[in-house]
Structure 1
Amino acid sequence: MLDDGRLQCGLCPRECKLHPGQHGACLVRGRVGDQLVLHAYGRASGLCVDPIEKKPLYHFHPGSDVLSFGTVGCNLACKFCQNWGLSKAKDLSRMVASATPQAVALAAQHAGCRSVAFTYNEPVIFAEYAMDVADACHALGIATVAVTAGYIQPPAREEFFARIDAANVDLKSFREDFYYRLTGAHLQPVLDTLRYLRHHTSVWLEITTLLIPGYNDSPAEVTELCRWIAGELGTDVPLHWSAFHPNHRLRDIAPTPRDTLERCHDIALSQGLSFVYQGNVRGGRGHTTHCPRCDAELLVREGFAVVRNAVAADGTCPHCGQKLPGRFL
């Protein structure tokens, strides 16, 4: 509670300050009396069984199924949002009436899923709900995955990711100006989250960058981004380049050319990254996981399907014995 009577939310760097009856920028957290209430708790915008590769996670239980679900709202305001129908939804009726944490965990178990993913919209904004779902999942031996922009305050970050087994973090750009103008957020908290996950948790980490022509795909920026990952996080963190498609408020921008994906792929390799992928395009490079030592094909994919898995049971390359980073079945 602030001196002027407003109530400040401590979940994300926006630090929304609310009068009674107001909701935060995320749309789903609001002030009721002198409390902050998560109006999306226990309600989901959809439940779907997906391949884990669709998140994308290529080194976490590859070839397994994941139960994906989310709510509505977001604490970023990305002009290029590929899922803006949910992230900008103000009508809570878009969600099902009831999806208790136990019900979500049981649905995953009945579907034979190895994990549950908090996805579709930003899971940070429904952190309390996600954490309770995670506890219910772990009680049944089911892992949890966060697909997130990583825009969260340190105290909440520690509590949230303590319940997460794997995360794919969107590193949307390596420029503060991009974050401010196109997402309404800031770069540094995202970098802090990435460092925290890599160096202070056991969460398996992968990164995705959506390449938007003319905005974040210059060779200079891509080189800086890859160099930062290699130096600050390590060369074995998988990086997924994703192709932009015109959407939301950037409908006048052309889709990402294949040449751009290939160029960025080469830059990432030149900066020492061992695992570089092209996540949402078919054909070409960027779908097969190679051994970083002997270059043997260990995980061959067609689309989101793993068509050949040659990783040994102990997670090593059967040809040279090199340990492959990740979590394997």
Structure 2
Amino acid sequence: MSATAWLSKKLSSGKILCQACAQSCKMDEGEYGICGVRKVEDGELKLLVYGLAAAVNIDPVEKKPMFNFLPNTKAFSLGTVGCNFSCKFCQNFDISQYPKEHEHKIFGKELPPERIIELAIENGCKSIAYTYNEPIVFFEYTYDTAKLAHEKGLKNIYVTSGFETRKALDLLAPYIDGMNIDIKGFTEEFYKEICGARLKPVLECVKYAHEKGIWVEITTLLIPGKNDSDEEIRNIAKFIAEVDPTMPWHLSAFHPMYKMLDVPSTPLSTLRRAYKIGKEEGLKYIYVGNIADEDYESTYCPQCGERVIDRQGQIGQYVTNELDENGTCPHCGYSLEGVWH
């Protein structure tokens, strides 16, 4: 399905500027954006994957990963093909890079916003997650769905690389309740060479989404020899702490994938080292993922130190939440930061 990609602007040169993400593609007739799913046709920008879901699942919200957000509930999760990044370690490259690697072909199952809401409610989901590929590339599809979801009492989650423009965030903020934003590294070199993007817009996105009142959690995939030095880990932790020390940080283990099959998996020791550095920088909620480690996956009250959300097994498999609907610690009465109802 194709629909007008209305988050765009016609320039005096005759080109169309896409205003969804910081790649800021300027396209002539017949040209595609970097994402491969936004194209100029008949003088206007079209979203080629509107209503076309390439991946659909019902997941524990913890898989997004969102840990301080409606714990132990289900999220109706969907994505399309296409991405504005080209990460060499992408675990969903089969959909994210599909248009770029298959001569602009697209695929997906017809799933209009109204049907997404129906399925989410039928399956007892409390939220809808736009995930698997980069949701900002199918912005108009997410926007229409998120607006409908709010009308029906469902929350919305963006799982993103953080390249949203301020204009996009201004439009999304009334309807997006949570974002998990990747900070993939902390050097422009890493972003340019490994991700096909830039660091600065990501950091600006984190700060602006937080300012807009969206609940933000951060994920960093630690890749041996690429972004796992003490200095880089500490710089990321410092940045998060400066924005908000209660912003959760997910430290994720890399496993050989896509174009980085020659890089070894991340050892547990690296994740625990990063966890310790994050604590030293004052972060209140740090989680280890992609590796079984229940002590480091659980949530602890920042005031009394008691374990208040216990996570065991595969991510989201066994979750015991002791907090009440306001996120209050039963041991000391502290109100934990997050979205609890």
Report TM bin, short chain: over 0.9
The reply to whether residue 258 of structure 1 matches residue 268 of structure 2 is yes
2:198 paired residue number: 186
Contact 1:115–1:144 (CA<8 Å) still a contact in 2? Answer: yes
Deviation at 1:92, TM superposition (A): 5.0
The 1:307–1:150 alpha-carbon spacing in structure 2 relative to 1, beyond 3 Å, is closer
The reply to whether residue 55 of structure 1 matches residue 68 of structure 2 is no
Offset from partner CA, 1:46-71 (integer Å, 9 cap, x none): 22110000000001100000100010
In the TM superposition, what are the counterparts of 1:269-288 in structure 2 within 5 Å? 269-283=279-293, 285-288=295-298
Offset from partner CA, 1:237-283 (integer Å, 9 cap, x none): 10000111111111110011111111111111111111110122112
- Report which stretch shifted further, 154-163 or 110-119: 154-163
Alignment match of 1:245 (pick from 226, 239, 255): 255
Counterpart residue identity of residue 105, structure 1: I
In the TM superposition, what are the counterparts of 1:3-152 in structure 2 within 5 Å? 3-90=12-99, 93-96=106-109, 98-152=110-164
RMSD value, Cα: 1.3
Offset from partner CA, 1:113-132 (integer Å, 9 cap, x none): 00000001000000110000
Q: Distance in 2 between matches of 1:185 and 1:283?
A: 32
**SS class of match (1:268):** helix
Q: Distance in 1 between matches of 2:157 and 2:272?
A: 28
Counterpart residue identity of residue 174, structure 1: F
With the length of structure 2 as denominator, give the TM-score of the two structures.
0.93
2:227 paired residue number: 216
In the comparison of the two structures, how many residue pairs are matched? 326
Deviation at 1:4, TM superposition (A): 4.2
Offset from partner CA, 1:90-137 (integer Å, 9 cap, x none): 2655311x2111000111000010000000100000011000001111
Contact 1:43–1:99 (CA<8 Å) still a contact in 2? Answer: yes
Offset from partner CA, 1:187-209 (integer Å, 9 cap, x none): 1111111001112x221110000
Q: Distance in 2 between matches of 1:40 and 1:189?
A: 25
With the length of structure 1 as denominator, give the TM-score of the two structures.
0.96
Q: Distance in 2 between matches of 1:164 and 1:87?
A: 22
Deviation at 1:327, TM superposition (A): 1.3
Counterpart residue identity of residue 39, structure 2: G
Q: Sequence identity of aligned pairs in percent?
A: 39
Deviation at 1:154, TM superposition (A): 1.6
Can you give the 5+ residue segments of structure 2 that lack an aligned partner in the other structure?
A: 1-9
Q: Distance in 1 between matches of 2:339 and 2:167?
A: 27
Q: Distance in 1 between matches of 2:25 and 2:319?
A: 47
The reply to whether residue 234 of structure 1 matches residue 244 of structure 2 is yes
Contact 2:81–2:106 (CA<8 Å) still a contact in 1? Answer: no
Contact 1:72–1:92 (CA<8 Å) still a contact in 2? Answer: no
**SS class of match (2:19):** coil
The reply to whether residue 153 of structure 1 matches residue 162 of structure 2 is no
Contact 1:40–1:92 (CA<8 Å) still a contact in 2? Answer: no
The 1:4–1:314 alpha-carbon spacing in structure 2 relative to 1, beyond 3 Å, is closer
